């Protein structure tokens, strides 16, 4: 291994080489309409306790029924990650007591998860193996911020999750960051989850221990409730050094213990949350209310055929077959909606470089602009056909290219039901003026009082023409066709 890839943390005090051993457990919310075992809808930010029923509030006698849409998305996630889907899996009860879990147990999968293996290759070529993926229901939310009281919101109770557990293959904070970025991209492209950390639809726990190079594994610590990839990387970095310093203190009372810690991004430190439960504490048992999940080959085949091409393969194709730069290919695949849009542009006959440059330099940058009100690229109300119309107007000289930009923005502002491109060209008066008589009138007006420039031009300074072009364009409100203006100016000056 080259020095650049050396994952060791070298203690500045002792010069000792330490290795971090890191595993990640990532929960993502499946993008279903309803919850995992009942028909309640889920929307982030809804009024508390308005999206609940007898089942998700744990009324006696309510029985769970598996949501097939959730199962299909879970399977698709497994396929997108190259995992093996088990033909037979089952649901188990994981018992614990907390106010946001009124049943007293969470329905999860224990010894027979629906998915094993798979993983993600990092750019370095190192492969981060997944141990398993299982389905489970989310718990509700306990809100502790009202003084002494705790409020419970059960809207989230029963929302479908998958949990992806890696092997302890990750060696550095940077690798954890890269793994998560690629994982999120893979799941978004597969249409499994929006992976929006701000809405809690992607959450990640870190398991981390350190060991001196060449020695065996030591006690691992779990860090919970990390809400950004940047914080995850910072927490790993911090926790690894905390453990190294603890071991190097040579005081066994300070050595890391098996526990769950919380990361505080403001102080950049972790602190004890609670002792770590082991599987035994949860008293797992099969859920008698749910039959085993049996998946047949035709179901798997159908889900496999529903998978879209992943981002990394699209990026390679854009570079190798379409000749785009790596930066362009990366920008176009930064979200699936943009990449799908680019592909639709190619299908409607737009040149790859044109499509790429308009998407990258204009359209992508409009997302999040308050004026346009686009929350994500998928909301862009400009169809690829309309972009193609605008490019054709520019190519044929009917509008200038900065008028094209104006036109597209107007189209975006008008929303999905707004006027089309042709109507907007007329409405905004963007069509270039080609009429010779009109252009000549503007040119003659621009020459008045410009004796110095005229003399310069006539003495051979071709560039002097540019000083006349500006006033003509200004007078025409930017609509004069510039090439024609040049011709007319030349003719007038040589006469
Ligand atoms: Zn419900």
My answer on whether 280 and 337 are in the same domain is: no
Give me the sign of the Cα torsion angle 79, 81, 82, 85: negative
Q: Are residues 476 and 416 in the same domain?
A: no
| Whether 350 and 210 share a structural domain | no
Q: Which of 297, 327, 348 is the last residue of a domain?
A: 297
What is the pLDDT, as a whole number, of residue 237?
95
Provide the pLDDT confidence category of residue 4 given band limits of 50, 70 and 90.
low
* CA 64 to ligand 1 center in whole angstroms: 9
Which two three-digit tokens encode residue 142?
């306990």
Query: Can you spell out the DSSP letters for 33-53?
Result: SB-SSSS-B--TTPPTTSS--
**Ordered alpha helix ranges (H), 224-335:** 229-248, 297-306, 311-320, 326-332
pLDDT digits (tens, 9 = 90+) for 170-212: 999 999 999 999 999 999 999 999 999 989 999 999 999 999 9
Do 367 and 407 lie in one domain? The reply is yes
Q: 271 falls in which pLDDT band (50, 70, 90)?
A: confident
* Cα–ligand 1 centroid distance for 140 (angstroms): 11
Rounded CA separation 326/339 (Å): 14
Segment of 77-91, 144-158, 250-264 carrying the highest mean pLDDT: 77-91
| pLDDT tens per residue, range 12-45 | 999 999 999 999 999 999 999 999 999 999 999 9
C-alpha torsion angle, residues 110, 219, 223, 7 (rounded to 10): -110
Q: What is the CATH number of the domain that holds 443?
A: 1.10.10.410
Apex CA 93: angle with CA 91 and CA 95, to 5°? 160
Three-state SS for 142? Answer: strand
What pLDDT, on the 0 to 100 scale, is given for residue 109? 98
Last residue of a domain, one of 297, 325, 357: 297
Q: Considering only CA atoms, which of 104, 99, 203, 202 is closest in space to residue 153?
A: 99
Instruction: Report yes or no on 303 lying in a domain.
Output: no
Range of the domain at 280: 3-297
CA of 148 to the centre of ligand 1 (A): 29
Give the total number of structural domains in the chain.
3
Residue in 313, 311, 303 with CA at minimum distance from that of residue 115: 303
Answer with the residue of higher pLDDT: 145 or 450: 450
Write down the mean pLDDT value for the chain: 92
Q: Which of 229-233, 458-462, 464-468 has the largest mean confidence?
A: 229-233
Q: How many angstroms separate the alpha carbon of residue 35 from the centre of ligand 1?
A: 7
Does a structural domain hold residue 97? yes
For residues 279 and 326, state if they share a domain. Answer: no
CA of 266 to the centre of ligand 1 (A): 37
* pLDDT per residue as tens digits for the range 468-486: 888 888 888 878 888 888 8
Q: Are residues 361 and 454 in the same domain?
A: no
Which of 297, 322, 340 terminates a domain? The answer is: 297
**pTM, 2 dp:** 0.83
Report the DSSP pairing between strands 285-286 and 269-275: unpaired
- List residues, by chain if needed, whose CB lies under 5 Å from ion ligand 1: 38, 40, 53, 55-56
Q: What is the pLDDT of residue 462?
A: 82
């Amino acid at each position: 291994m080259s020095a650049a890839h050396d994952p060791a943390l070298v203690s500045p005090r002792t010069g000792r080489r330490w290795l971090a051993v890191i595993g990640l457990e990532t929960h993502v919310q499946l993008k279903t309409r309803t919850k995992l075992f009942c028909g309640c809808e889920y929307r982030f930010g809804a009024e508390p306790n308005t999206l609940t029923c007898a089942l998700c509030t744990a009324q006696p006698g309510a029985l769970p029924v598996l949501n097939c849409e959730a199962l299909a998305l879970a399977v698709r996630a497994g396929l997108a990650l190259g995992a093996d889907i088990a033909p037979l899996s089952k649901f188990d009860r994981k018992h614990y007591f907390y106010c946001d879990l009124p049943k007293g147990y969470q329905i999860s999968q224990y010894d027979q998860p629906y998915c094993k293996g798979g993983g993600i290759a990092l750019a370095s070529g190192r492969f981060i193996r997944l141990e398993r993926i299982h389905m489970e229901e989310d718990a509700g939310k306990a809100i502790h911020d009202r003084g002494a009281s705790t409020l419970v919101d059960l809207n989230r109770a029963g929302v479908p999750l998958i949990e992806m557990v890696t092997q302890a293959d990750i060696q550095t904070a940077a690798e954890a960051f890269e793994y998560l970025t690629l994982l999120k991209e893979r799941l978004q492209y597969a249409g499994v989850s929006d992976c929006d950390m701000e809405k809690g639809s992607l959450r990640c726990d870190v398991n981390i221990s350190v060991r001196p190079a060449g020695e065996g594994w030591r006690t691992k610590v779990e860090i919970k409730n990390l809400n950004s990839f940047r914080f995850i990387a910072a927490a790993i970095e911090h926790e690894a050094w905390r453990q190294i310093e603890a071991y190097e203190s040579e005081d066994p009372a300070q050595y890391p213990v098996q526990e769950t810690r919380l990361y505080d991004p403001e102080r950049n430190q972790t602190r004890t949350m609670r002792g770590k439960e082991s599987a035994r504490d949860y008293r797992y048992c099969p859920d008698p209310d749910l039959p085993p999940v049996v998946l047949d080959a035709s179901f798997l085949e159908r889900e496999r055929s529903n998978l879209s091409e992943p981002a990394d393969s699209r990026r390679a194709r854009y570079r190798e077959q379409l000749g785009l730069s790596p930066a362009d290919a990366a920008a176009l695949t930064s979200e699936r909606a943009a990449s799908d849009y680019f592909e639709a542009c190619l299908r409607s006959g737009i040149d790859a470089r044109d499509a790429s440059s308009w998407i990258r330099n204009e359209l992508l940058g409009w997302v999040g602009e308050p004026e346009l009100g686009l929350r994500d690229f998928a909301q862009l109300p400009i169809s690829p056909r309309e972009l193609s119309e605008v490019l054709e107007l520019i190519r044929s000289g009917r509008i200038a290219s900065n008028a094209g930009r104006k036109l597209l923005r107007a189209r975006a502002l008008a929303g999905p039901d707004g006027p089309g491109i042709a109507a907007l060209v007329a409405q905004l008066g963007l069509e270039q003026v080609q009429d010779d008589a009109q252009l000549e009138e503007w040119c003659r007006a621009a020459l008045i009082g410009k004796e110095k420039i005229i003399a310069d031009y006539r003495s051979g300074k071709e560039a002097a023409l540019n000083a006349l072009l500006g006033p003509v364009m200004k007078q025409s409100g930017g609509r004069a066709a510039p090439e024609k203006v040049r011709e007319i100016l030349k003719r007038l000056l040589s006469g």
